[in-house]
Amino acid sequence: MTCFADSARYEIATVTENVRLARDTMRVRIAAPEMARQAVPGQFFMIRIATGNDPLIGRAFALYELDPEDRAWFDLVYLVKGRLTTRLAELRPGDPLAVWGPLGNGFDPIACDHLIMVAGGIGQTPFLALGKEALGRQAYGTPPRPSGYASDVTFCYGVRSADYLSDVDRFQQLGCEVLVATEDGSAGPAQRVTDVLEQVLARQTGRRSRIACCGPEPMMEAVAAMARRYQVPCQVSLETPMACGIGICFTCVARIGTPHDWDYKRTCVEGPVFDAHHVQW
Ligand SMILES: Cc1cc2nc3c(=O)[nH]c(=O)nc-3n(C[C@H](O)[C@H](O)[C@H](O)COP(=O)(O)OP(=O)(O)OC[C@H]3O[C@@H](n4cnc5c(N)ncnc54)[C@H](O)[C@@H]3O)c2cc1C
Ligand code: FES
């Protein structure tokens, strides 16, 4: 079995920026070139506050973006929510941060006509890097893995209200078609991201499409069902709570189908990206 913690590193790295992007949403920039050079879209990093033991257990954050020049830093985007993210939001440039990674498998770079990225809320974080790679704007990993494997990329982005939308303009500048869904109708008609996805899938005619999805589990389950109905391959990035991130503690297991039955798989080292049709929702 391949173990995706094999190339991970541990460092006390330095925060170089920590800025607000949207309501309760921040972007932290971390100077850690060795880690940045390894990371690919859909992988994640574990983070702990370097000064003190609260919280004791690290938290996982998806790779958001890499330094496009010399890969000297990477960015994470986070929703300020509970114990770790509240403390993370207080960090200033020059502060230390305990980081280990990159971890997990990442999304598969498979050639297609149309990559449809579907995000619910803060589940948008893996998709700036994935969109860049798919459209050939940036290569990731050492040695670099394939890029430019999708002709078109659509980003279906669902949030509760418009003030949670972050970096929409960056996705647009990249060349992605961005379709926003707000539950309260504060940007366009009130609808869910699955409504938008259904419209996109309904207009596909003979194109080789693929879906990449991340967000709350009920939303991913609904996207998986829709993908099955439209017979479109779909990968989901699961956000099961994690403790070690390196395959030791089994906190993060998910039920994943096998050819005859199902088995528990560790999301940290055998995921977090799985074939949506193999996940036992
Ligand atoms: C592979 C993976 C990738 C991830 N990527 C990202 C990412 O890119 N960005 C991101 O933001 N998150 C991401 N997460 C989730 C992240 O790891 C954390 O779980 C999340 O940031 C919350 O951590 P926390 O310590 O701030 O909250 P915790 O303290 O762990 O709180 C968790 C929950 O409890 C609730 N809670 C906490 N304190 C209270 C309280 N006092 N009263 C009521 N409710 C409370 C919070 O609202 C929250 O719902 C990812 C998870 C995984 C597994
Ligand atoms: S988080 Fe410990 S095994 Fe996955």
The reply to whether ligand 1 has any atom less than 6 angstroms from the CB of 81 is: yes
With H, G, I as helix, E, B as strand and everything else as coil, classify residue 86.
Answer: helix
CATH assignment at residue 269:
3.40.50.80
The reply to whether ligand 1 has any atom less than 6 angstroms from the CB of 122 is: yes
Domain boundary among 43, 69, 103: 103
User: Closest Cα partner for 83 from 46, 56, 50?
Assistant: 56
> Each residue of 4-29: pLDDT tens digit?
677 799 999 999 999 999 999 999 99
Domain count across the chain = 2
Distance (angstroms) between ligand 2 centre and the Cα of 268 equals 6
Mutate to test the pocket of ligand 1, among 59, 84, 250 (most ligand atoms within 8 A of CB): 59
274, two tokens: 């799985």
Question: What secondary structure, in 3-state letters, does 176-190 show?
Answer: CEEEEEECCCCCCCE
CB-based burial of residue 186 (10 Å sphere; 0-12 exposed, 13-18 middle, 19+ buried)? Answer: middle
Distance (angstroms) between ligand 1 centre and the Cα of 60 equals 9
The reply to whether ligand 1 has any atom less than 6 angstroms from the CB of 44 is: yes
The reply to whether ligand 2 has any atom less than 6 angstroms from the CB of 240 is: no
| 268: containing domain | 112-278
Domain boundary among 103, 130, 152: 103
> Each residue of 235-252: pLDDT tens digit?
999 999 999 999 999 999
The reply to whether ligand 1 has any atom less than 6 angstroms from the CB of 75 is: no
Taking the complete model, does pTM exceed 0.85, yes or no? yes
> Each residue of 163-203: pLDDT tens digit?
999 999 999 999 999 999 999 999 988 999 999 999 999 99
In a domain, 4, yes or no: no
- Whether 149 and 87 map to the same domain: the answer is no
The reply to whether ligand 1 has any atom less than 6 angstroms from the CB of 54 is: no
Helix %, strand %, coil % for the chain, to 5? 25, 35, 40
Distance (angstroms) between ligand 2 centre and the Cα of 179 equals 34
